[in-house]
Amino acid sequence: MPQSRHRSSQQVSNMEKPQDVMEKYLKEFRVEQCPLFLQHKCQQHRPFTCFHWHFQNQKRRRPLLRRDGQFNYSADIYCEKYDETTGICPIGDECPLLHRTAGDTERRYHLRYYKTGMCVHDTDNRGYCVKNGPHCACAHGANDLRSPVYDSREQRDLLGE
C-alpha cells in the first residue's frame, strides 16, 4: 500500500497549508477504515490516534451540504436508533440524524462545528493540543479558526425570516 494513503497527522500538517489540512479533516477524518489496522500493523492503535477508523463505532459520515441547502445529516439532533456500541444504525448512512460515534466525531467534525471555537487547552512543543492531541477539533489560534457553515434553515433563522 502506498505510504501517501496512510499518512500520520504530523506528515499531513508538515506537507499541507493549514486550510488544506482543515479541508482534509472535514472531508476525510475517520470516514475510511484503516488499511494497516486490517493487517494488524497500525502503529497508532494504542493510544488511538489514527486518522482512519478501526472499529465501526468510530466511523464518521462525511458531512455534505446538499443542493437543497440542507446537510445530509443534522449537526445537532442525535439518532435514537444508532447503537453506540456496534456503530450500526438501522437506516444506515442515509440517516438524516447525527450518530454519536466514538469521540462524537460526527458532531465535532461537522461543517457546522469543526474549528469554529477556540480550544481551552494549551498546545505542546509540537503544536498539538495537550488534551486532544493532533486531531483536536477546536482552534488553537486565529489562523486555525474557521466560520461555521449553516444550512438553509439555520440561515433563515439567523436572518429572522
H-state helical runs in the chain: 9-15, 18-28, 35-38, 105-108, 152-159
| Lowest model confidence (mean pLDDT) among 26-40, 92-106, 141-155 | 141-155
In the prediction, which pLDDT does 101 show? 97
CA–CA dist 154, 104 (Å, integer): 21
On the question of pLDDT at 9 being above 60, the answer is no
In the prediction, which pLDDT does 16 show? 60
In the prediction, which pLDDT does 119 show? 97
In the prediction, which pLDDT does 161 show? 65
Please state the pTM of the whole predicted model: 0.84
Of 56, 41, 73, 47, nearest to 128 by C-alpha is 47
CA–CA dist 152, 70 (Å, integer): 6
Query: CA 58, 16, 36: angle at the middle one, nearest 5?
Result: 40
